[in-house]
Amino acid sequence: MTDLETPVAPTRAEPAWRRAAPALLGYAAVRALGLVALAVWSAARDKSPQQLLSARWDSLWYTRVAELGYGYEVRLPNGDVHSNLAFFPLLPWLERAVAAVSPLSYADAGLLVSTVASLAAAWGIFAVADHVYTERKARSAALEGRWRETGGRRVGVCAVLVWAVLPVGIVQSMAYSESLFTALAAWSLYAVLTGRWLTAGLLASLAGLTRPVGAAVVAALWVAAIASFVRERSDSVRERSVPAPDGAPRWPRALAMLLAPLGAAGYVLWVGHHTGKGPLGYLDVQAGWRNGFDGGYAFARFIAEKFASSPSALAGVGLIIGVGLLVWLYVICVRQRQPLPLLVYAGVVTALALCASSYFGSKPRLLMPAFPLLLPLALALSRLRTSRSAWVLGTVAVASAAYGAFWLNGSGPP
């Protein structure tokens, strides 16, 4: 149990949207900078930035699902079968709904959904960081007999901006499912942290309909609920009473635990029935893409192969440093006593991303939803003077925008 698990939030008269406004405005500015850089770079190469954002790679597969439904597949010369059953349905469902009530094409509908979802994700990240670090300030103030409310808000703004300026942050503006998933995950985690269990369970179920990594949200909710039950039982033994410490009934937590896995389980079971291969049919679909979970063996071998030749050895060193940085950030999250749901969620997202057996170039994109790993960086930035933190974030934002434009006009995300 951490010192951040029991809600001690102060009463705030300020509306939630107004409190989050600086973070959302900053996020929109960073994303606009990235889109301007992409437009300029694409124009120089005679490419369409709209097509790069909405009609390449995975976005094409989502659009086909929205337009034609499931059943489309591509058979490669080596025998591999790429089936659109690998793509979870919530994003294409939303694309179809938007296209049905507007003049937008499915691809443009995907861009609109991604844009709205990215703002929702930014707001969710702000809400989580603001809640966690405002609680910490409240506890510190209670011990010292004083109160300052600005700490959590400042960390929340920095957390959103750090997420926005990630090197592959341009994906947040693409017709991909990362923004939608991050929004659902962040708000589900916020609901867990604030004791809104039914909301958390529903959002976790929707996250499970968005990406396979929805399992991370389910795991976070389950661990948090089980921990609360254990804590309750321990308190009841000490006090010889059965009510929850905060007086909350138990049934919402139990129902949330039942709701959370329904989205992912429902789709996986449907795929198994649709393919006639039983409950594990989805694993066969992923195998057709040469994707699976091998504990990181394939990724480790991929890194080792980089050292087979001098030109690529530097890339191998960079990959090792990158993995080491992730581990270091997670250790800091543990040492800073992040709430248990955030630690579980970030740990599962990171493990699933690093231990997937294929698409090594997409790992930075797959790690994007692991936003709790960024909170130590946000905390450090929040302690700087505003001018200095703005200079740091502004410099990184320019570099990220340039890299995103270069990336999408080159190999792009697989």
Instruction: Annotate 6-56 with three-state secondary structure.
Output: CCCCCCCCCCHHHHHHHHHHHHHHHHHHHHHHHHHHHHHCCCCHHHHHHCC
Which of these ranges, 162-176, 243-257, 330-344, 365-379, has the smallest mean pLDDT? 243-257
- Do residues 64 and 250 touch, judged by C-beta distance below 8 A? no
What mean pLDDT comes out for the span 253-273?
Answer: 96
Whose tokens are 């896995």? That residue is 261
The answer to whether residues 74 and 52 touch, using CB atoms and an 8 Å cutoff, is no
Q: What pLDDT digit, counting tens, does each position of 153-194 carry?
A: 999 999 999 999 999 999 999 999 999 999 999 999 999 999
Q: Which of the two residues, 27 and 296, has the higher pLDDT score?
A: 27
Q: 364 is written with which tokens?
A: 């930075």
Task: Confirm if 206 and 221 have CB atoms less than 8 A apart.
Answer: no
pLDDT, averaged across the chain: 88
Torsion of CA 57, 48, 111, 347, to 10 degrees: 50
Measured over the CA atoms of residue 189, residue 193, residue 195 and residue 196, the dihedral's sign is negative
Residue 148 has pLDDT above 50, yes or no: no
- Whether the per-residue pLDDT at 5 is higher than 80: the answer is no
Nearest alpha carbon to residue 126 among 166, 165, 162, 167: 162
Q: How many CB atoms lie within 10 A of CB 101?
A: 8
Which of 179, 185, 35 lies closest to 115 in space, CA to CA?
Answer: 179
Q: Is 125 exposed, middle or buried (0-12, 13-18, 19+ CB in 10 A)?
A: buried
Compute the average pLDDT of residues 354-375.
90
Which of 345, 308, 109 shows the shortest CA–CA distance to 217? 345
Element housing 379 (H / E): helix 375-382
Residue 303: C-alpha distances to residues 128, 202, 316, 352, 360 (Å) = 34, 39, 5, 17, 10
Residue 317: predicted pLDDT: 85
pTM for the predicted model, two decimal places? 0.91
Strand partners, 81: 75
Residue 62 contacts residue 110 (beta carbons within 8 Å):
yes
The helix/strand/coil state of 196 is coil
What SS3 string covers 302-369? HHHHHCCCHHHHHHHHHHHHHHHHHHHHHHHHHHCCCCHHHHHHHHHHHHHHHCECCCHHHHHHHHCC
CA dihedral 141, 12, 343, 166 (to 10 degrees): -110
- pLDDT band at residue 139 under the 50/70/90 scheme: low
pLDDT value, residue 241: 45
CB 118 within 8 A of CB 171: no
DSSP bridge pairs for 82: 74
Measured between alpha carbons, how far is 243 from 235 in angstroms, rounded to an integer?
9
Looking at residue 310, its pLDDT comes to 67
Helix, strand, coil percentages (3-state) for the chain, rounded to 5, are 75, 0, 25
pLDDT in tens, 66-111: 999 999 999 988 888 899 999 999 999 999 999 999 999 999 999 9
Predicted pLDDT at 349: 97
Angle at 360 between CA 187 and CA 393, to 5 degrees: 50
Tell me: pLDDT of 50 over 50.
Answer: yes
CA distance 24 to 31: 10
Is pLDDT larger for residue 134 or for residue 241? 134
**The pLDDT value given to residue 243:** 46
55 pLDDT band (50/70/90 cuts)?
Answer: confident
Asked if residue 11 has pLDDT above 80, the reply is no
